[in-house]
Structures are given as C-alpha cells and as structure tokens.
C-alpha cells in the first residue's frame, strides 16, 4: 500500500508529460501549417482532420489527466512536502489549461473551424487565427508548468518515503 501513492504519482507525471508532448507537437509542428494562410489553410485543415484530429485526442487526454491529478492530490495530501506541489500542478491544469482552453480557445475553434468563411470575414478569420496561435504558446507553457509541478511532487513523495523507511 505504501507504494501505491508513488505509482499513482508516477503515472500522473507520465500522463502530464505525454499531454505536454502532444501540445508541443501541436504547437510546433501542426499549428504552423494550420494557421499559415487563413482562411484557406483553415479550410484545408478541416479537410485534413476529417478522420481524426486534435479534438479527438485532447478532450479524453485532458479528462484522464484531471482524474489522475485529483487522485494524486488525494493520495499525497498527508505528505506535507509533496501536497502543495501536487495541488499547484492540479491548479495549473484546471486554470491554466482547462479553463483557459474553454474560455479562450473553444470560441475561436468555433469561429475558425465550424463557422469559417461562410459566417466570418477574412480579416476576422486571420485575427482569430493569430490570437489562437499566439495563445497556444501560453497553453504550452501552462502544460510544462503542470508536468513540472507534478514531477516535483513525485520527487518530494519519493524523498519522504525514503526518509520514513530509514527510521
């Protein structure tokens, strides 16, 4: 039972790092292609992502990450040296990634990919694409912070367990 929190914490860090990697690939590899020439590149992206795309991966990945972060926070609550690092990781995930995405990115996704040129002018689509691509660097930063804080919590938990096993 003593190893269970360590295993859950390691699993959370792994999940958070995979999510960070996905966001990094999206930001550095995919989005320059998506946003290079709106509205044409936006329409091409809708066609390209017709079978599967970021919207198919990130919502379930986000849900798994939140559940793992919550489980980790509960399991690490009694470990004072790790508790607040994990709570900070959860807060970064909820506010810096989820809430920021819901408030900033989701409306822009609708404008660019659901409504598109049929509803919006070229200027609005270009401005929205620029805002989205620029804002995505912040989401990447929040994701890095989330994974890093979770990793520090894991290290603190491990050190705590090592100290307590020597007694």
Contact in structure between 143 and 20 (CB atoms under 8 Å): yes
Give the integer Cα–Cα distance in Å for 167 and 36: 60
pLDDT tens for 108-146 read 999 999 999 999 999 999 999 999 999 999 999 999 999
pLDDT tens for 67-103 read 999 999 999 999 999 999 999 999 999 999 999 999 9
pLDDT of residue 166: 65
The length of the chain in residues reads 167
**Burial of 29 (C-beta count, 10 Å sphere; 0-12/13-18/19+):** exposed
Helical axes 122-165 vs 80-91, angle rounded to 10°: 170
Q: What is the mean pLDDT of the chain?
A: 95
Angstrom CA distances, 47 to 22, 34, 55, 59, 117, stand at 21, 11, 14, 20, 14
DSSP code of 38?
Answer: T
How crowded is the C-beta side of 76, counted as CA atoms within 13 Å? Answer: 34
What's the whole-model pTM score?
Answer: 0.92
Give the integer Cα–Cα distance in Å for 44 and 162: 54
**Burial of 76 (C-beta count, 10 Å sphere; 0-12/13-18/19+):** buried
Counting DSSP H helices and E strands in the chain, the numbers are: 8, 0
Count of C-beta atoms within a 10 Å radius of residue 56: 11
């Amino acid at each position: 039972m003593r190893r269970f929190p360590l295993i859950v914490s390691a699993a959370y860090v792994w999940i958070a790092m995979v999510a960070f990697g996905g966001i990094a690939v999206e930001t550095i590899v995919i989005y320059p292609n998506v946003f290079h020439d709106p509205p044409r590149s936006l329409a091409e992206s809708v066609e390209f992502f017709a079978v599967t795309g970021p919207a198919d991966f990130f919502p379930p990945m986000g849900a798994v990450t939140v559940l793992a972060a919550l489980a980790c926070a509960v399991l690490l609550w009694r470990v004072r040296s790790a508790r607040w690092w994990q709570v900070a990781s959860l807060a970064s995930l909820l506010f810096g990634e989820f809430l920021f995405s819901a408030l900033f990115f989701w409306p822009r996704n609708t404008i660019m990919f659901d409504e598109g040129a049929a509803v919006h002018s070229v200027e609005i689509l270009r401005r929205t694409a620029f805002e989205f691509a620029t804002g995505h660097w912040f989401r990447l930063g929040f994701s890095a912070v989330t994974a890093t804080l979770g990793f520090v919590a894991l290290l603190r938990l491990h050190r705590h367990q090592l100290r307590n096993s020597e007694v």
